[in-house]
Amino acid sequence: MSTQKVALISGANKGIGFETARQLGKKGIVVFLGARDLAKGEAAAEQLKKEGIDARAVKFDVVNPADVKAAAERIEKEFGRLDILVNNAGVMMEPIGGNNSSSVSEEILRKTFETNFFSVVTVTNEFLPLLKKSDAGRIVNVSSILGSLTLHATEGSPIYEAKALAYDSSKTAQNAYTVHLAHELKGTKIKVNSAHPGWVKTDMGTDAAPMDVVDGAKTEVELATLGADGPTGGFFHMGQPISW
């Protein structure tokens, strides 16, 4: 079995997920690029291979249990363990800005939670046995500052006027999962943290965002490669804690 670290990043064929894979790969880590569309995942992996990275595409629609199970079986067969899981895949189906608390549809609420919360739990549970075989398992849940209840409730905060109920509450739920899972795994070698990448120029973030994708991936990469003395059960952006 290889001694190289192995990482799986969901939603990794573009945006922050792709850049996270690139930065982890540059550190000599084998990166599995999870993608709903395998062809797009393979194209992304080929791009990284040209940069000298050991990148491998895997069909990985996070809301499809068959995909998740097949990916776990492949990684177990090829490496026998997983060192890093980055739950990056996410959706935002509402406009940015304003408050839609009484108007957002049940369909959007359910679809958003299916990807941003329920699939994170399902995927993590599927890969936990492999993470427990790692010498230093790391789970990074890619959240958002929009999941902070403290900042939403604080008048004058940067997000006070931006209240997209489905997306925001799905990330709040994801943060709760981070806290709960980190507590369950306390005393093990696995660390679980939430990351706020920042407002980044991606398909979701749009060109109006102030941050480039290279900087947007830095928080995930830092949390994915924490040393033994690193934090667990926290919510961070660029090394700084964010209020829950």
How far is it, in rounded angstroms, from Cα 139 to Cα 126?
13
Nearest-5° angle of CA 86, CA 167, CA 60?
A: 35
Strand 191-195: give its sheet, edge to edge: 55-59, 30-35, 6-9, 84-87, 138-142, 191-195, 235-237, 240-241
Helix (H) or strand (E) holding 128: helix 119-131
Q: Is 160 a residue of the active site?
A: no
Per the rule left: phi > 0, alpha: psi between -120 and 50, beta: everything else, 176 is alpha
Which listed residue (32, 113, 167, 177) is catalytic?
Answer: 167
How far is it, in rounded angstroms, from Cα 197 to Cα 112?
19
The β-bridge relationship of strands 6-9 and 55-59 is unpaired
**Catalytic annotation, residues:** 167
